[in-house]
Each structure stands twice: as C-alpha cells, then as structure tokens.
Amino acid sequence: MENKNIHAQHRKRMKEKYKLHGIDIFQNHEILEFALFYAVPRKNTNEIAHKLLDKFGSLAGVLESPVLALQEVDGIGQEAALFIKLLLDIARVYLEEKRSSKNICNSKDELISRLCAKFVGRENEVSAMILVDAKNKILYNGIVSKGCHNSVDVYLRRIVELIVLYNAAGVVFAHNHPSGIALPSKNDIVTAKKLKNTFNTMNVEFIDNLIVVENDFVSFADCHMPGIFD
C-alpha cells in the first residue's frame, strides 16, 4: 500500500509539473515516463522509461521501434507497446496536417518536405506521391502502395487513375528503404523509368523520384539519373 501511495503522489507531482511548465522542462526519460502513465497504470514507469532508453538509445529510437521489440523490455506489454507506436503515428499525422494547411508550394524542396513527412515512423516499405497543378498547388499527397520490408509493388494503374482524377500537371514520387541504405536498386531504376515513360505519354512532368531513408532522402533528379532525369 505504501509503494502504491508513493507512486500515486509521484504521478500527481509529474502532472502538476507538466501543467505548470509544459514539456520543455522534462528530460527525455521523464517525457517517456510521463507518457507511460496512461498505458501502464500500476508500475514504476520511471524504471521502464530508463530500460527503454538504454535498449533503443534515444526517445526517437523508442518511438520508431517495432511493437515486438518494445515488448522485449520488462514492463512493456502489448497495450503499452501499441500506445508508444500510437504516439509516433499521431505526430506524423499532425505534421502532415500542418504542412498541408498551405497548399501552394513555392519550391521543389517544399514539395519534397511535404512528401517525406509521409514516411515518418514507417517500418515497412511504402510508396507515396504528390500531385500538383501547373501553379504548384498540391492536389493529392498520399500513400499509393504498401510492400514488405525490402520490396514495394508500384500500382501503375492506381497512379494513372489519380493523375487523371486530379488532372495533375506534375508528380513527385517516393518510396522508402527501411534497411537504411539509400542506394537505388536495379528495381528502383526500372520502376522510375516506367513512371517516366508513362508520365511522358500523359504530358505530365516527372518532377522527382525519391528514396527516403530515416530523416534523409536521395533525389534522382539531383543525381541526374540517366534515362530518367538526364
């Protein structure tokens, strides 16, 4: 009973601290400890937070870790692991909505930034696409296919349908490499060439093709990829 009261008082103090000062005054282990109050009601989440950070190296590392890996940490069950993943998914949706509040992009870099937000926290390979009109107004920004960890099926018919539906003038296409290796594979190059040929027949500009890795990306256009952006 005494330990239960100590934990309850500690949680109360943490909540008061947050109400008074916000998150900026918290250290990373305290942020994680505080968040876990809402998923682990009857355990010392300070200890669990430290174990998570020790295992995954950082708060970002914890949030980006797979559910099964999180459950390997003592004190983290399935519900707590799903809660941790939910935090990152909410953050990604928030970033997407904030960035999409302004639909006109003044540069390719801004388009790329909007598209790269789609890949935050993704564990498996997916492909995404931004469609714009002739004035660089974003018409569509979304996931067009999902694949396994090391391959992605590009649904060309789906892409063509979206271009026609939105009467798009330009396309930025991207997919991620969860392996962390940004070098384009032979399949990546073949896919990009197929897209280029398709867009040419539709009189649609292929603005760029990206490979996204964690917080970085490789641009086929900037690399002047032969046969695609040469």
- Beta-strand (E) ranges in the chain? 126-132, 138-146, 170-176, 205-213, 216-219
Q: Where are the domains of the chain?
A: 2-94, 103-219
Task: Give the per-residue pLDDT at 4.
Answer: 64
Task: Report the distance separating Cα 198 and Cα 200, nearest Å.
Answer: 5
Question: Which one of 3.40.140.10, 3.40.50.720, 3.30.428.10, 3.40.50.1110 gives the CATH number of domain 103-219?
Answer: 3.40.140.10
Task: Give the per-residue pLDDT at 149.
Answer: 45
Tokens 């174990």 correspond to what residue?
51
* pLDDT tens string 121-154: 888 889 999 999 998 888 999 999 887 545 555 6
Query: Taking the CA of residue 146 as centre, how many other CA atoms within 13 Å lie in the half-sphere pointing to its CB?
Result: 7
* pLDDT tens string 3-43: 666 778 888 999 999 998 888 889 999 999 999 999 998 88
Q: Each residue of 198-212: b (16+ CB within 10 Å) or e?
A: bbeeeebebbbbbbb
* pLDDT tens string 97-109: 766 655 667 788 8
| Assigned token pair, 173 | 């296409």
* pLDDT tens string 141-197: 999 988 754 555 567 889 999 999 999 999 999 999 988 887 888 889 999 999 999
Task: Report the distance separating Cα 33 and Cα 164, nearest Å.
Answer: 49
Question: Which pairing describes strands 205-213 and 126-132: parallel, antiparallel, or unpaired?
Answer: unpaired
Residue 74: strand, helix, or coil = coil
Among 181, 176, 174, CA closest to 206: 174
Q: Give the confidence band of 215 by pLDDT, cuts at 50, 70, 90.
A: confident
Question: Which pairing describes strands 205-213 and 170-176: parallel, antiparallel, or unpaired?
Answer: parallel
The pTM for the full model equals: 0.62
Task: Give the per-residue pLDDT at 99.
Answer: 65
* Cβ–Cβ under 8 Å, residues 209 and 224: no
Overall average pLDDT of the 202-212 stretch = 95
Task: Report the distance separating Cα 175 and Cα 33, nearest Å.
Answer: 34
Task: Give the per-residue pLDDT at 47.
Answer: 94
Among 77, 59, 60, CA closest to 68: 77
